[in-house]
Amino acid sequence: MSEALLHAPVPAPLTRLTEDEQLFRDSVRTFAQERIAPLVRRMDEEQQLEPALLRQLFELGLMGIEVPVEYGGAGGSFFDAVLAVETISAVDPAVGVLVDVQNTLVVNALLRWATEEQKKRYLPRLAADTVGAYALSEAGSGSDAFALQTRAELQGDHYVLQGQKLWITNAREAGLFVVFATVDAAAGYKGITAFLVEKGFSGFSLGKKEDKLGIRASSTCELIFDHCKVPVANVLGEVGKGYKIAIETLNEGRIGIGAQMLGLAAGAWGHAAKYAKERKQFGRPIADFQAMQFQLAEMAIEVESSRLMVYNAARLKDARLPFLKEAAMCKYLASQAAESVASKAVEVFGGSGFVKDYPVEKLYRDAKIGKIYEGTSFMQLATISKLVLGSM
């Protein structure tokens, strides 16, 4: 892979950032270009995150962006987390989703629903050295998120969890899991409860690691609960209110996935624009030809429109204003844009885009997951149509 292509430009944000946000974004960008970019191809081929890179993410405070300072975190905003996910994903969406799940799902869940004792126990670890994972999906519960088969039975001072979870991001690296299980099947979704499960708990183990199309450095594994004992003190929120935690956390998480897909699209655009200026045909850079200019212009429009929607949703969330519709819209649009821009980037590279020597082939593979996880594009459209039609 060309050294120059590792440092391809990305379109500058159109939305105004504060000076502190600009400095934060620039520091993350420098880290991503200098520390992550040289590892991308090897991590993708080996399907494994570089351990040293994980330590560096913690050292830079990127794994506990919203964790308050008193718990050892950076004390940043949700928007800061979105900026970090976007910027890292422009270089490697696999690393971007690691940071995303940690911040927008796991940390957010604890900030909103954990007891003070749970916060004191887990937030410092999540900020310092412990990866978190979010375990909701099962074989029979994807879009139908509450068709859970994993059961939790109260036995004295602990619950016993029995069942399996599938497609759990960060599973191999994680030391703490937010797990959803049913304590009362007859109560339907009102029987669902969230638990904080540590990797070392008795009866917990990792199952199959998925061999994926894209974001291959990000681990996606099965979780197995075989009479797994979880202390009553590790119930997150109220018993029977896990459905509320799941819904509201995923609403925020969709903005994070929107940021990941935005970063991916911006990275693909940057590689394509740089290559178009370097690649010559008929004695001229291909960027001189109007057809190529129009293609790059369309790609830039997709990137910037996604950025506006992602940033708007994140700003609304930080301002504690309604953002459900905007979260669904930004995830839908950004995932569409990521696939479209990455595909066009491959075309800009021509035959070189179809081989692994250049980064756009990987970004094209990585883009597909954006329409699937944390709510499929179909589910986003269902949510959006309900909200926009209901407001008429």
Contact 153, 173 (CB under 8 A): no
Among residues 252, 304, 361, 374, which one is catalytic?
Answer: 374
Cα–Cα dist 131/360, whole Å: 28
Residue 378's Cβ-side half-sphere holds a number of Cα atoms within 13 Å equal to 4
Burial (0-12, 13-18, 19+ Cβ within 10 Å), 375: buried
Burial (0-12, 13-18, 19+ Cβ within 10 Å), 100: buried
Per-residue tokens: 35:
């520390």
Tell me the residue length of the chain: 392
In angstroms, the Cα distances linking 386 to 251, 255, 328, 381 are 15, 19, 11, 8
Question: Which DSSP letter does residue 180 get?
Answer: E
Q: Which residues pair with 243 in a beta bridge?
A: none
Question: Which DSSP letter does residue 316 get?
Answer: H
Q: Does the annotation mark 3 as catalytic?
A: no
Q: Angle, nearest 10°, between helix axes 78-89 and 290-318?
A: 150
Cα–Cα dist 150/183, whole Å: 9
Q: Residue 121: count other Cβ atoms within 10 Å of its Cβ.
A: 18
**What string of H, E and C letters represents the secondary structure of 98-129?**
HHHHHHHHHHHHHHHHCCHHHHHHHHHHHHHC
In angstroms, the Cα distances linking 72 to 21, 80, 122, 355, 392 are 20, 17, 11, 44, 46
Q: Which residues are annotated as catalytic?
A: 374
